[in-house]
Amino acid sequence: MLTCYGYMLSVRRGGIILSCRGERKSLRIDQPITIAGEGAITINLIRETSKTMSSLILMVGGKPLPLHSILRSESLRRQVEIILNTPKRLKIARWIVRRRMEALIECLEALLLDGKPIIECLGKAAGSYSVQSLLAVEANATIEYYQQLRRRIPSTYEFIERTRRPPRDPVSSSLNYGNAILYKKCHQAILEEGLDPRVGFLHNPYRNRASLTLDLADIFKPLVVDRAVIPLFTSKTMKPGLHYKMKDGETLLTGKGKMKILKAIRLRLKRSREKQSIWREIKLEANRIRKYVWGEADIR
């Protein structure tokens, strides 16, 4: 049994390559071998292994599991095939970015702010021919979006720019906490559809990151989190000391602050939009993704 932390399993010329601590070892797909530790598996290896019954065994949670049993999910194989098919991946990635920008515009207009800068980015996204260029356009739209939001946030909250790790102001801290709540709901919707949350189409798959969850959450952050959180600050109901505090340059929510955000998000998820709750809409969009992955319907 080989033990390595930080290993990478990839495929080359029909064989498996084990990379660990700067060293590389060639393995045969039909060679019985057990690997313990922590590591990652490349997309190409998933595709290759799905065609064969590999004898490779990985230790997962202290239990030996054959690689082919870990990768036996039909949804996982279909998701990987889309990742490897540039036109198909680009199509759903464009859809995610378009839906997100439409949500950004809707949120700005609800706050009586100018959505024209996002509309311009929306046109650029439609003409993007790579996932990387889409991500760049989406990043620019997000910057424009927060610049607009600053106009509605009272200066006493010192919301100069959107910060994440660590959050430097109470608005960013509240948005971070709200996003974490939304991620859990989107993750639930993805799992209920039988999809693998690790294989996203806009966000690149990376180790155990739930990239598909991030894809779905990106669409609904403005509609759920921002629409729930921003009014708490425009109305000045978030109070220093009571709902948030500063510590070592980081803004932390208090227990009451977290409860206030949680309550606002729950109410927002129940809010009727287009004759259905937003939570129901999240589940329907997850279902739309599944249908595209399985070839049951196109995505528009």
In a domain, residue 242? The reply is: yes
Residue 127: φ, ψ to 5° = -100, 10
pLDDT for 6 equals: 77
Containing structural domain, residue 32: 2-72
82 and 199 in a single domain? The answer is: yes
276 and 175 in a single domain? The answer is: yes
Stretches where the chain sits below pLDDT 70 are 1, 14, 28-33, 43, 46-73, 207
pLDDT for 220 equals: 96
Rg (CA), the chain: 22
120 and 220 in a single domain? The answer is: yes
In a domain, residue 299? The reply is: no
pLDDT for 51 equals: 57
246 and 168 in a single domain? The answer is: yes
48 and 173 in a single domain? The answer is: no
136 and 247 in a single domain? The answer is: yes
pLDDT for 29 equals: 62
pLDDT for 209 equals: 83
47 and 117 in a single domain? The answer is: no
pLDDT for 21 equals: 80
Measured distance CA(258)–CA(243) in Å, rounded: 8
Domain count, the chain: 2
263 and 133 in a single domain? The answer is: yes
7 and 141 in a single domain? The answer is: no
CATH number for the domain harbouring residue 22: 3.100.10.20
Residue 130: φ, ψ to 5° = -155, 155
In a domain, residue 275? The reply is: yes
* Last residue in a domain, options 43, 72, 101: 72
* Last residue in a domain, options 29, 50, 72: 72
Q: What is the 3-state composition of the chain as percent helix, strand, coil, each rounded to the nearest 5?
A: 55, 20, 30
In a domain, residue 298? The reply is: no
The model's pTM is 0.79
